Amino acid sequence: MNSRIPLFAANWKMNKRIADVSPFMVKLNQGLQKLSKKAGSDFEVVIGPSATHLAAASQAVQGTPIELAAQNCGHAKSGAFTGEISPEAIKELHCPWVILGHSERRHLYLEDNGLVLRRLKAAWEEGLKVILCVGETLPQRKSQQTTKVVEEQLQILKGFSPSQENLVIAYEPVWAIGTGENATPDQAQEVHAFIRGWLKQVFSLSLSENTRILYGGSVKPENSKDLMGKPDVDGFLVGGASLEAESFLGIIENGLKSRG
Ligand code: PGA
């Protein structure tokens, strides 16, 4: 038996005003209270606002089950790194999670696996929990390189001893992000199963069985039930559809329906 509690994470990217944060959290929390009674099973919710919004978000989620994620973190504890966000300060804001290796960071800001590795190291040294994003572009998929690319992105984990508590993997095919075209449940399942197999081969059966693997890329209330109906899809990393509490709640509610 695995111990994978479904996880629903929101990636707000560079959206929302700071003033929007508190009303959103109030609405989300009310919805979550109702949902947890209805769902009857456990699940976790993580919201990833911009770094500028984390302090307000941190206050707003006090006393709720909602946890926070930063969208990136610096590769060192502190120092002369203009524009970077220190993992130490993220922790200080009571934000336990950080998203690393998002495809927008990789493609728009040219973060390569080496840099993601250094950020990962800094995050784990600070005790942050990491959502590591992996995924292929459309040309890579078309030329049958999906698993090769995903494996290369996973390789950075090799020097560490990750645990099911401090690591979540998000499979986000680049062609599905913000395009309205999600991977089919079968396409997602195929890559998730590959990732789980890789974790078993490189680390252990226990890590492989207990690590949550999220799907991301045009997730919405209309497709979350079918996607989560697949055995290796343990939740989502949601961009656009996480910006309104109603649609994010719809994703969670429908996703959990697949769990009976
Ligand atoms: P999307 O983004 O849900 O808007 O496709 C997902 C992501 O980038 O994490």
CA distance 57 to 50: 10
pLDDT above 80 (res 26): yes
H/E run at residue 44: strand 44-48
CA distance 14 to 18: 11
pLDDT above 70 (res 1): no
79 — pLDDT class (breaks 50, 70, 90): very high
124 — pLDDT class (breaks 50, 70, 90): very high
d(CA 29, ligand 1 centre) in Å: 22
How is residue 183 written in tokens?
Answer: 């991977």
- Comparison of pLDDT for 204 and 3, the residue scoring more: 204
Instruction: List pLDDT tens digits, range 131-145.
Output: 999 999 999 999 999
| Sequence spans of domains, the chain | 7-257
Respond yes or no: is residue 253 known to be catalytic. Answer: no
pLDDT above 80 (res 122): yes
Q: What is the mean pLDDT of the chain?
A: 96
41 — pLDDT class (breaks 50, 70, 90): confident
Fold of 7-257: TIM Barrel (3.20.20)
Ligand 1 near 173 CB (within 6 A): no
237 — pLDDT class (breaks 50, 70, 90): very high
d(CA 102, ligand 1 centre) in Å: 10
pLDDT above 90 (res 3): no
Given phi > 0 = left and psi -120 to 50 = alpha, else beta, which region is 40? left
Q: 124: closest CA among 90, 83, 147? A: 90
Ligand 1 near 11 CB (within 6 A): yes
Respond yes or no: is residue 172 known to be catalytic. Answer: yes
